[in-house]
Amino acid sequence: MSGFRLEKGGRIDRSRPLSFTFEGVSYEGYAGDTLGSALMANGVSMLGRSFKYHRPRGLLAAGLDEPNAIMQLEDGAQARPNVKATGVELYDGLRAAPVNAWPSLSFDLLSVNSMFARFIPAAFYYKTFMWPHWSLFEPAIRRAAGLGVSPEASDEDIYDKRYAACDVLVVGGGPAGLQAAQAASRSGARVMLVDHDAQWGGSLMASNRHVGQDPADDWIGRVVEELRAAPETQLLNRTLAFGFYDHGLVGLCERLTDHLPLAERSGPRLRFWKVRAKSVILATGAIERPLVFPNNDRPGVMLAGAGATYAARYAAAPGRRAVFAVNNDSGYESAAVLRRLGVDIAAIADARPGLSAKGAQMAASGINVFTASTITNVRGGKKVRAAELHKLDDDGQAVKGSAALVECDTVLTSGGWSPVVHLYSQAGGKLRFDEQIQAFVPRECGQHVLCVGAAGGEFSLTQGLADAARAGAAAARDCGFDAADIEPATVDGEAFGNIRPIWQVDVSGLAGERGKAWLDFQNDVTSDDVALAIRENFKSVEHVKRYTTLGMASDQGKTSNVNGIGVMEGALGKPMAQVGTTTFRPPYDPIEIGAFAGRRVGENIAPLRPLAAEDAHEMLGARFEDYGGWRRPAFYAQDGEDEHAAVRREALAVRDGVGLFEASPLGKIEVAGADAREFLNRFYVNNMATLKPQRCRYGVMLDENGVVLDDGVLACLGPNRYLAGTTSGHAALIADNMDEWLQCEWPDLDVVVQEVTTNWAVMNVNGPRARDLLRKFDCSIDLAAEAFPHMHVREGEIEGVACRIQRVSFSGELSYEVAVPWGFGASFWAALMDAGREFGVSPFGVETLMALRVEKGFLHVGADTDGMTLPQDIGFGGVISRKAADFIGRRSTMRPDSLRDDRRQFVGLECLDGSAKPLTVGAHVLLPESAPPALTQGWVTSSVYSAALGKPVALGMVANGRERIGEEVKIWDRGVSRRARISAPGAYDPEGKRLHV
């Protein structure tokens, strides 16, 4: 146990102790801690096990770059798998457990993998597990893989979404971000400043620098206060900018409650922002790179900057005696921070040959600084006991015989810094390799985005602030604001100085076996793995990544990618600039799937549309189902009836008396204008040019590929005024389609299209007593058979309310579709039920209507047809041949395949086995003697039990079916065959006498 709590200092609130558990053991931390810092303060050094070898691992970093400290938080509905301990604000009662270790972190059975490491290098699984079969090995491998555990209960939290637009979005609330936001904000521009941290200040929080003459804290406080006061500026902390998308859209994830004790959480957990910014300034800082040397993964080996952050910000020291290994000046600053706070600096090994000014300063103060030296090994298993240091020769090879063994309990390394260019790259930005800082930096981008401060590769704070101030003002000016340049703040301390790239400490000349040198800690990728990949010709940076899994872990290689590219440079003899990077993908840090889903959960995924008389249907015992997004009664169950009995009863009621059906979802599109007739004639297969006012005609619509798109009744309400009916699910589609043709292809036609489906509630009064029932109402329309024949439409008033009545039928009985303004729908339904009592009126549902239309052989588009059905397949060949004019899709009906005589055609199917059981919809039609595998002749598309006929009836699509009426076929459903005969569709009242009463 090497970490401990410093007695004073830090940005923790010692007056607010918090208790938490890790692996079942209770600990105490303070408000302001992260889970990571609290564990460090409690001396817990081993926080996890690695993915493959189950090596013990401790904290490497202090931020979202952390690869090792992966935790399972809480359980049940609150469980959170795979969170980084460094990104979790401590709260009272927090319960954390390590992942990927069994039975416990300190005794993990699968650490046995480590012993076989030599036999299971990168990608070994492609070379084995082939005999006898992969399936024998896979289950064990699956169980061994994975990190945390998926929550076992349904998520109960709420996730919000919000859109925002701004002029300047500044990502990163460190010094550069604050400065840029201040400069932009003063112009009055709409500025948003976001940071995933709970606190503002970024790297300044872990330093003892001064801004101007004041401590950094004062400056941070002043700027934040000014920004808070600016009316057009918005600050969002605990908010991660996770993705940069097209046209300036940045995705943010704001954590609203994750930092609170479970009992205090209420309201949405996360808020998912989609911010459209005219200009984006990325002040996302830089990520320190670890040095790559044998056993660099031991708990206690950390990034130097992280060590300083833990000590300065969280008052949690990583150890009492530290060895530093650096290749640039930033490590000295970290060392100075730790030393000031009382940590003993045992030695600093600097890979660079000469002493830098900072190094000299440090040496002068009595610290052992070894130049041209680096760390070559760590002694200790679950914690650090000592560091081995060696001299480096000019080629970067450790020199045999130059060893120094330094006792210590923590090792802090700095291998340089990589600007966080993830969002820049996601925006389409191109990178270049900067030799000065040995990292990839922004080059150019097609979107309005600029990286400032360390994110832009500028490691001098004073210079970074100057750049940020300029960028902030310039961004505001780009958005049309009169932004003056502001005087940037200055910061004491220098930049990181030059750097000696040591991508991999070369220990090949040293005596003795050393452990592996780790690049990707979470995925257990070593420099040997990269070498192996290259030896096997996986030389592209993407191949190395995929072959070794370097950078594919849940940290997405934040600390490992650039080191990996550096190792590749050595192995390939190709400069890093040419090796290039893998692609940066959103999200920057993992984001909850629930946040992406937002409020689109449960019924909000696709809210169901209610009928006008929904309450009445409910009262009548309706069994509702989702029909194309409408909540409609399938049938009405009485006295515990099942569906079959209810449909049978309702169907007979319609055939024998009168039924009532709410048909409001029927698509209704008004088409008006001087050229409406011409337009509709082009839109329908049928000849609509001859349709007269007050008349209806059934018609079919195609897409340009000739496929039957929809059908419905077209009613001519008057000269130049039509009402087009569509199936209930298709109204919007057809209206859109009409608009597209009118605007894009035939703009010369004078036509207006308006969908009015939900303007009118429609009640279908259906059955031989339908007229008698309607006559109970005071109606301005003469309902007499001769005055208002079948396939006619009338407009008028019913009980003083506007109505449209169409005498059309989908049941084969006398039938009126009465439309009233939607708001009158419910009361009209009630009145119809009341008035119908004397006729024994029965409400009926969709399934009953379907049964009635199948008995009649009426086609239902989408059930009997599919995306291949042409009009001639459903009997419209004659209609086409009689029509001279072109219509949408006509040419497609003339292609060779459209004219084949063995196309599937719409027919009836009559059961021959005497069973009352309907055929299965989706059963296939076969020749009587054939058995599978067999070529299908078609399939059953609709099938019901006909109460009126006392037997099952069915419809189907059968190859050349119309020519084969009378032929016997086999109906085949998953091995079960039934005999049937092809017939004409329409078993009930084939002459249609009942329609014209």
Partner 1 sequence: MFLQEPKDLTRHYSAASLLREGFNKQKGWAPAWRDAAPKAEYDAVIIGGGGHGLATAYYLAKEFGMTRIAVLEKGWIGGGNTGRNTTVIRSNYFFPESAAFYDFSLKLYEGLTRDLNYNIMFSQRGMWNIAHDRHGVEMLHRAVNAMLLNGVDAELHDGAEVKRRIPILSDAPRYPVMAGLLQKRGGTARHDAIAWGYARAADMRGVDIVQNCEVTGFDIVDGAVTGVRTTRGDIKTGKVALAVAGNTSVLAELAGFRLPIISYALQACVSEPVKPVLDTVLLSISHGVYISQSDKGELVIGSAIDLYPSYAQRGNLPVMEHTAAGVVDLFPRFSRMRFLRQWAGIVDVMHDSTPVVGLSPVKGLYLNCGWGTGGFKAIPGAGFCYAHTIAKNEPHPLTAPFSLKRFETGALIDEAAGAGIAH
Partner 2 sequence: MLQISCPYCGARAEIEFRCGGQAHLERPGPHDQVSDRQWAEYLFYRDNPKGVSLERWVHRFGCRQWFNVARSTLTHEILAVYGMGEQPPQLEGTKR
Residue 720 lies near partner 2 (rule: CB under 8 A): no
Which of 1, 120, 355, 791 contacts partner 1 by CB under 8 A?
A: 120
Strands 239-244 and 301-303: unpaired
Does residue 574 belong to the site contacting partner 1 (CB under 8 A)?
no
Q: Which helix (H) or strand (E) holds 700?
A: strand 696-702
Query: Which residues, 6+ apart, have CB-to-CB distance to 355 below 8 Å?
Result: 363, 369, 371
Single residue of 432, 895, 900, 917 touching partner 2 by CB under 8 A: 895
User: Total residues at the site for partner 2 (CB under 8 A)?
Assistant: 26
Partner from partner 2, partner 1, none binding residue 134, C-beta < 5-8 Å depending on class? partner 1
In whole angstroms, how close is the CB of 195 to partner 1 at the nearest point?
A: 20
Is the C-alpha dihedral spanning 883, 884, 885, 888 positive or negative? positive
Shortest gap between Cβ of 506 and partner 2 (angstroms)? 42
Pattern of binders to partner 1 over 62-101, x per CB under 8 A? -----------------xxxx-------------------
Q: 687-706: which residues touch partner 2 (CB under 8 A)?
A: 704-705
245 counts as binding partner 2 under rule CB under 8 A: yes
Cα angle value 887/737/667 (rounded, 5°): 105
736 binds, among partner 2, partner 1, none (CB under 5 to 8 A by kind): partner 2
If the CB atoms of residues 131 and 163 are measured against partner 2, the closer one turns out to be: 163
Position among 77, 136, 894, 934 found at the interface with partner 2 (CB under 8 A): 894
600 vs 996 by CB, closer to partner 2:
600
Site residues (CB under 8 A) for partner 2, limited to 153-212: 163
Pair of tokens at residue 155: 């998520």
Contact status: 246 vs partner 2 (CB under 8 A): yes
917 binds partner 1 (CB under 8 A): no
The residues, any chain, with a CB within 8 Å of residue 381's CB and separated by 6 or more, are 56, 298
Q: Which of 743, 759, 780, 915 binds partner 2 (CB under 8 A)?
A: 743
Separation in Å, CA 756 to CA 504, 522, 753, 782: 71, 59, 10, 25
Nearby residues of 518 by Cβ (< 8 Å), 6 or more positions away: 292, 296, 297, 524, 525, 526
Q: Which of 344, 77, 341, 66 lies closest to 196 in space, CA to CA?
A: 66
3-state secondary structure of 482: coil
Distance CA 439, CA 431 (A): 10
CB under 8 Å to 137, separation ≥6 — which residues? 129
Residue 428 CB, nearest distance to partner 2 (Å)?
6
| One-letter amino acid of 944 | V
Site string for partner 2, 654-693 (x = CB under 8 A): ----------------------------------------
Of 409 and 555, which has the nearer Cβ to partner 1? 555
- What six digits make up the tokens of 390? 């060696």
Question: 25 φ, ψ to 5°?
Answer: -100, 135
Nearer to partner 2, 103 or 747 (CB): 747
d(CA 66, CA 652): 71
Is residue 480 a contact point for partner 2 (CB under 8 A)?
no
Which two structure tokens, joined as six digits, stand for 696? Answer: 């209806």
Strand partners, 953: 944
Q: Does 129 bind partner 1 (CB under 8 A)?
A: yes
Residue 625 binds which entry of partner 2, partner 1, none, CB below 5-8 Å type-dependent: partner 1
In angstroms, give the least distance from the CB of 85 to partner 1.
15
Q: Exposed/middle/buried for 676, CB within 10 Å: 0-12, 13-18, 19+?
A: buried
Residues whose CB falls within 8 Å of the CB of residue 705, separated by 6 or more in sequence, listed in order: 889, 892
- Report the SS3 class of residue 807: strand
Q: CA distances (Å), 726 to each of 38, 480, 694, 802, 856, in order?
A: 65, 50, 18, 22, 19
Which residues, numbered 620-659, are part of the site for partner 1 (CB under 8 A)? 625-627
Number of residues interacting with partner 1: please give it, by CB under 8 A.
110
Smallest distance, Å, CB 55 to partner 1?
17
Binding partner of residue 704 among partner 2, partner 1, none, CB cut-off 5 to 8 Å per kind:
partner 2
Segment near partner 1 (CB under 8 A); pick from 116-124, 168-176, 437-445, 486-494: 116-124
Q: Which of residues 887-916 bind partner 1 (CB under 8 A)?
A: 892, 895-898
- Nearer to partner 1 by Cβ, of 154 and 213: the residue is 154
Sign of CA pseudo-dihedral 871, 872, 876, 879: positive
Check binding of 598 to partner 1 (CB under 8 A): yes
Strand partners, 161: 272
Binding site for partner 2 (CB under 8 A): 163, 245-249, 274, 276, 428, 446, 704-705, 736, 739-740, 743-745, 747, 886, 890-892, 894-896
